[in-house]
Structures are given as structure tokens and as C-alpha cells.
């Protein structure tokens, strides 16, 4: 029987570069600093010389030609394996799961993983507030391949490129399933995110340290305008932050040989990585995530735990629908007393590109070191509720080893439920399944898009044929379930749907 080593996290660090820094660090320098801090945190003076695998999470705003190689040079590392991940907020947890299996199988000895985001400083420079002396940025030549972009050509034709314009579709689908009114739902989202802001207010690494009330979060205003209805600004992940985090993983044997205190070891106890149907428009139910549901159960089973054994969660919270769907699929009751975030979430703690969940994991490490009996679950999400990685953490070794498990059959079963390609040129009656209304920078509704079904059940995307007043009226009612007339406009190259009751 093959013997597997037991992986442990021995170093963790995070840093938030404050808003008014005169000479802000570039993302590479941020990663250098947090990597050094993670090494210091591990307390093993010889650990750096044993790092043989380095991961860098995708750098959204300031990429480098070879970020892992440049990081190794700055740190004085000679790593045999370097990896630069494609875009996706699932990446930090995906890396932990991958590194755990590689360490368990003996394919590497010490793993460093890090990421950074400094778009706040970049925006200040664009505004002329500061002058940056950062190293040159250029597209990476070493990104790990990914099969497809996040959207298909028909979704792109409706300008559905941004999360802020797609997650509202999931939200309005969820609202319709719940059966509550738009106003009740707005306040429900406010209450959910008010707790996140309260947690962030006590987190020294959080970008926003103010606790907002449910009403402040839920009510649109000049400072809190709608971006993609039904989401106000406070319900969107805040990308305008400067943050970095780093983790170091090794095995029990290596940590012991280096004299690293067992009191700081934190164990990845279980993990799984699955995708939902890749293109959101082909998912049968926009309010569900089979991938989160199945992956969370696989991770708990590997850890030998039940959901009741988990003391703290960090569910990915880029938008309310991401948090709500994850809670439902993991199986956490709405009246459960356990918090759903350990950091304060992406709108308040900060949404540093693809690297947010590394901050969540670093915070989990800190909490478990203080309470060795604590178990934690982290869910990480990439693209549009598309890529999911789940992790379970604890203060003792997992019930089952980190084997090279093959979950491909499970992934195939999820993918097999995909609906046919969208109808590109539609005509007839269209019943709405979900919708989003985009707002301009002054907070006025300017464009609506629906996804729905024709009478023959084929699915369609269509822009709403209505002006500002009509769109405004639609925000006061439940549009899901209503029927409009759809036609294809050859000049625009899009389907248009009209709802006569709002004229």
C-alpha cells in the first residue's frame, strides 16, 4: 500500500497597502514582501532553500512577462517548478488542493504560493495623483492554459463580459425561486452583507473598516448607486484595493526536520475542484450550483467530517448571489448562527482580483493556530459561478490522505446537463427567467438584458426594448415570469424583447 506524506501549512502572511501611500509598491514587490513575511512566520531558517515549487495567482491589472521567475530572482530561489495561474478567484484554493496532493505524493518538498493586486494605486496614477516607478508590465508568457474564455460568442454579443452584469441574473433567478417581493429581497441582501461589513470593520487587513447598516447597503443613493440592478455599489466586490497574501506548505516530516513548531501547523484536511457548466446561459437552473454542492461533500468526506463539525466558513462573496447559492448548496440553513465569512468578504475586506481567497485561507490559519479544535471551510469561485474549489482546514491531520483522486466522471455528469446553444435569432413569446438592468455613473437605468425561454423551451438572450422610464418601472416589480414579444434586430445583431405593460 502506497504511503502518503501529510501536507501542512507552516507559513501565512497578508498585507494591505493603505490608500494614501506616497510611493506604493507594485504587485511584484508586494508579493516579495508577503512571501518573506510568510517565511518568517514559518520560523524555519532553512525553509527558503528547500522551496522547489512556486505558484503565482493571476495578476489582473499589472502582469509581468514571467512573474514566478521574477519572484524567484527577487527572493533568491532556485525553484524547479513555477506556475502562473489563469484568471479565476478559485485559484488560491485550487493551488492548496494541488500542492497538497503533490506534497503527499512526494513530487515537491516545499511550496510557496502568493498573489497581489494594486489597482487602487494604478487608478491614483491614472488620475495624476501619484507617479509610479514600477517595473515594466507586459503580458505573461507562462500562463497555464485554459480551454475557453468565460463567455461564448452569443453572451458576448450582449456585452455580458463583466461579473457586475452577469451575477444580477443569478440574483433575480434566486429571488423568483424564493417567492419574496423585490423590496423584501433588497432588504434581505442588505442584512446579509451588513454582517460582512461588521466583520470587516474589525479586521485590520480589511480595506473598508466601516460597519454599514442593512438599509445603507440596500438603499440606492448617490454614494451607493445601482450598478447592475438589483445590486447597489455596496453589493459589488471592491477591486480598487492594494492587497497581497502568501502561504507556505510542506509536509509533517519536513516541518519536523526543520524544527518548525507543531503549534503553527495547519492541515488542509480535504478539498475538491469542480466546474459548473462552463457557459452560464446553458445551465438549466441559474439559481443552483451542482459543482459547489458536490465538491463540498467530497471535501468533507475526505476530511472525515460533517457540516456540523465546521466552526467557521469563508464562502466566496463577490456578490450576494455567490454567497447565497454557496450557502444553499453547502447546506447551511439561513438561520444558522455561524458566520459565512472570516474576513468580511469581497465588497468590504476587498476583492484583490483572483487572490481574495488566499487572504481567507491566511485568516483561517491564524484562527486555527489560536484554537486547534477549530475546523474551517473555504469556498472559492472563478468566472461566473463557473470554477469552484473547496477546502477544509483543521488543527489535526485529515481522516483520509491526499491521493491523486480522479473526479472526471463527476465533472462529466455535471457537464452532461448543459442546455443547447442559445437561439441566436428569436421570434415570438419569451418568458423571463432572469434579468439585469445596468445603470450609468449617475445611477440612471440605461440598459436591460433578459434570459428566458420561448414557447418551445429553447433559451434566448435579449435586450429590453424600453427607455429609462420603462426600465425604472421594471425595477419595482418582479419581471421574472413575465412574458414579452421578442424579435431579432438585424441592424443591432441582437434579439429585442418588448413588455407592453411598462410603456
**Res. 149: pLDDT tops 90:** no
A 10 A CB-CB count for 353 gives 25
Q: Do residue 357 and residue 406 come from a single domain?
A: yes
Q: Which of 247, 265, 243 is nearest to 38 (CA)?
A: 247
Q: What pLDDT is recorded for position 147?
A: 60
**Res. 1: pLDDT tops 70:** no
A 10 A CB-CB count for 400 gives 14
List, in sequence order, the alpha helices (H) in 208-354.
214-218, 252-257, 290-303, 320-330, 345-348
H/E run at residue 484: strand 483-489
Q: How many whole angstroms from its chain centre is CA 239?
A: 12
pLDDT top residue among 143 and 401: 401
Cβ-contact 165, 450 below 8 angstroms: no
Specify if 90 maps to a domain. Answer: yes
Domain boundary, last residue among 347, 380, 415: 415
Instruction: Look at the pTM and tell me if it is higher than 0.75.
Output: yes
Q: Do residue 129 and residue 273 come from a single domain?
A: yes
Q: Which three cell numbers stand for residue 310?
A: 465546521
The model's confidence at residue 31, banded by pLDDT at 50, 70 and 90, is: very high
pLDDT tens, position by position, 90-138: 999 999 999 999 999 999 999 999 999 999 999 999 999 999 999 999 9
**Res. 272: pLDDT tops 60:** yes
Domain boundary, last residue among 358, 393, 415: 415
**Res. 501: pLDDT tops 90:** no
DSSP class of residue 143?
B
Structural domain for 94, as ranges:
7-148+240-415
Alpha-carbon gap, residue 28 to 68, rounded angstroms? 9
Q: Do residue 117 and residue 247 come from a single domain?
A: yes
Alpha-carbon gap, residue 18 to 225, rounded angstroms? 25
Within 8 A by CB and 6+ apart from 335, the residues are: none
**Res. 141: pLDDT tops 90:** no
Q: What pLDDT is recorded for position 22?
A: 87
**Res. 184: pLDDT tops 90:** yes
Within 8 A by CB and 6+ apart from 65, the residues are: 138, 139, 140, 141
pLDDT tens, position by position, 52-79: 999 999 998 899 999 999 999 999 998 7
Specify if 52 maps to a domain. Answer: yes
Q: Is 52 exposed, middle or buried (0-12, 13-18, 19+ CB in 10 A)?
A: middle
* Strands ordered across the beta sheet of 7-16: 7-16, 242-251, 110-118, 51-56, 81-84
Q: Do residue 389 and residue 446 come from a single domain?
A: no
Q: Which of 193, 178, 221 is nearest to 346 (CA)?
A: 193
Q: What pLDDT is recorded for position 12?
A: 98
pLDDT top residue among 204 and 80: 204
Specify if 165 maps to a domain. Answer: no
Mean pLDDT of 314-337: 97
Torsion-angle region of residue 137: left (phi > 0), alpha (psi -120 to 50) or beta? Answer: beta
A 10 A CB-CB count for 173 gives 23
Q: Do residue 113 and residue 254 come from a single domain?
A: yes
pLDDT tens, position by position, 358-398: 999 999 999 999 999 999 999 999 999 999 999 999 999 99
Q: Do residue 391 and residue 443 come from a single domain?
A: no
Which CATH number belongs to the domain containing residue 454 in this structure?
2.40.50.840
Number of domains in the chain: 2
Angle at 75 between CA 108 and CA 73, to 5 degrees: 90
Q: Which of 5, 12, 4 is nearest to 36 (CA)?
A: 12
Q: Do residue 283 and residue 144 come from a single domain?
A: yes
Q: Do residue 333 and residue 265 come from a single domain?
A: yes
A 10 A CB-CB count for 80 gives 10
Reduce the DSSP state of residue 95 to 3 states and report it.
Answer: helix
Mean pLDDT of 492-496: 97
Cis-peptide, bond into residue 230, ω within 30° of zero: yes
**Res. 84: pLDDT tops 70:** yes
Q: What pLDDT is recorded for position 460?
A: 98
Alpha-carbon gap, residue 87 to 101, rounded angstroms? 22
Q: Do residue 384 and residue 493 come from a single domain?
A: no
Mean per-residue pLDDT over the chain, rounded: 96
A 10 A CB-CB count for 494 gives 19
Which CATH number belongs to the domain containing residue 131 in this structure?
3.40.47.10
Question: What percent of the chain has pLDDT above 90?
Answer: 93
Specify if 89 maps to a domain. Answer: yes
Q: Do residue 127 and residue 258 come from a single domain?
A: yes
Domain boundary, last residue among 415, 449, 468: 415
Reduce the DSSP state of residue 487 to 3 states and report it.
Answer: strand
Specify if 61 maps to a domain. Answer: yes
Cβ-contact 439, 402 below 8 angstroms: no
Q: Do residue 466 and residue 337 come from a single domain?
A: no
Specify if 1 maps to a domain. Answer: no
Specify if 385 maps to a domain. Answer: yes
Cβ-contact 427, 336 below 8 angstroms: no
Alpha-carbon gap, residue 80 to 173, rounded angstroms? 47
Q: Do residue 360 and residue 440 come from a single domain?
A: no
pLDDT top residue among 85 and 1: 85
**Res. 490: pLDDT tops 90:** yes
Alpha-carbon gap, residue 394 to 371, rounded angstroms? 9
Specify if 286 maps to a domain. Answer: yes
Alpha-carbon gap, residue 121 to 127, rounded angstroms? 10
Mean pLDDT of 240-254: 98
Amino acid at each position: 500500500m502506497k504511503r502518503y506524506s501529510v501536507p501542512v501549512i507552516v507559513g501565512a502572511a497578508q498585507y494591505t497597502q493603505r490608500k494614501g501611500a506616497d510611493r506604493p509598491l507594485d504587485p511584484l514587490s508586494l508579493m516579495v514582501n508577503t512571501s518573506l513575511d510568510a517565511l518568517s512566520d514559518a520560523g524555519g531558517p532553512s525553509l527558503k532553500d528547500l522551496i522547489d515549487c512556486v505558484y503565482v495567482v493571476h495578476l489582473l491589472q499589472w502582469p509581468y512577462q514571467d512573474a514566478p521567475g521574477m519572484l524567484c530572482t527577487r527572493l533568491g530561489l532556485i525553484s524547479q517548478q513555477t506556475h502562473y495561474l489563469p484568471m479565476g478567484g478559485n485559484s488560491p484554493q485550487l493551488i492548496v488542493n494541488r500542492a497538497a496532493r503533490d506534497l503527499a505524493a512526494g513530487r515537491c518538498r516545499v511550496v510557496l504560493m502568493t498573489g497581489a493586486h494594486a489597482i487602487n494605486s494604478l487608478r491614483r496614477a491614472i488620475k495624476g495623483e501619484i507617479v509610479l516607478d514600477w517595473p515594466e508590465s507586459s503580458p505573461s508568457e507562462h500562463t497555464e492554459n485554459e480551454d475557453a474564455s468565460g463567455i461564448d460568442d452569443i453572451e458576448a454579443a450582449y456585452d455580458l463580459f463583466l461579473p457586475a452584469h452577469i451575477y444580477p441574473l443569478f440574483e433575480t433567478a434566486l429571488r423568483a425561486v424564493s417567492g419574496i417581493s423585490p423590496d423584501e429581497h433588497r432588504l434581505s441582501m442588505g442584512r446579509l452583507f451588513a454582517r460582512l461589513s461588521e466583520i470587516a470593520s474589525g479586521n485590520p487587513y480589511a480595506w473598508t473598516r466601516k460597519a454599514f447598516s442593512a438599509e445603507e447597503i440596500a438603499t440606492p443613493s448617490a454614494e451607493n448607486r445601482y450598478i447592475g440592478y438589483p445590486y447597489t455599489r455596496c453589493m459589488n466586490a471592491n477591486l480598487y484595493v492594494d492587497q497581497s497574501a502568501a502561504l507556505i506548505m510542506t509536509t509533517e516530516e519536513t516541518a519536523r526536520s526543520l524544527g518548525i513548531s507543531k503549534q503553527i501547523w495547519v492541515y488542509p484536511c480535504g478539498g475538491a475542484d469542480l466546474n459548473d457548466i462552463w457557459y452560464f446561459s446553458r445551465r438549466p437552473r441559474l439559481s443552483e450550483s451542482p459543482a459547489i454542492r458536490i465538491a463540498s461533500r467530497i471535501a468533507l468526506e475526505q476530511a472525515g467530517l460533517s457540516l456540523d463539525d465546521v466552526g467557521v466558513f469563508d464562502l466566496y462573496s463577490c456578490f450576494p448571489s455567490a454567497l447565497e447559492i454557496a450557502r444553499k448548496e453547502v447546506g447551511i440553513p439561513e438561520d444558522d448562527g455561524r458566520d459565512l465569512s472570516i474576513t468580511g468578504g469581497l465588497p468590504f475586506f476587498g476583492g484583490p482580483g483572483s487572490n481574495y481567497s488566499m487572504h481567507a485561507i491566511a485568516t483561517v490559519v491564524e484562527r486555527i493556530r489560536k484554537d486547534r479544535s477549530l475546523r474551517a471551510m473555504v469556498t472559492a469561485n472563478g468566472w461566473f459561478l463557473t470554477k469552484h474549489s473547496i477546502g477544509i482546514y483543521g488543527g489535526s491531520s485529515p481522516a483520509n490522505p491526499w491521493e491523486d483522486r480522479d473526479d472526471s466522471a463527476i465533472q462529466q455528469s455535471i457537464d452532461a446537463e448543459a442546455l443547447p446553444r442559445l437561439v441566436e435569432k428569436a421570434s415570438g413569446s419569451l418568458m423571463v427567467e432572469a434579468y439585469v438592468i445596468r445603470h450609468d455613473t449617475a445611477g440612471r437605468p440605461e440598459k436591460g438584458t433578459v434570459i428566458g425561454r420561448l414557447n418551445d423551451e429553447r433559451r434566448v438572450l435579449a435586450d429590453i426594448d424600453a427607455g429609462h422610464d420603462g426600465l425604472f418601472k421594471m425595477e419595482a416589480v418582479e419581471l421574472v415570469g413575465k412574458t414579452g414579444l421578442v424579435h431579432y434586430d438585424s441592424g443591432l445583431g441582437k434579439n429585442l424583447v418588448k413588455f407592453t405593460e411598462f410603456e
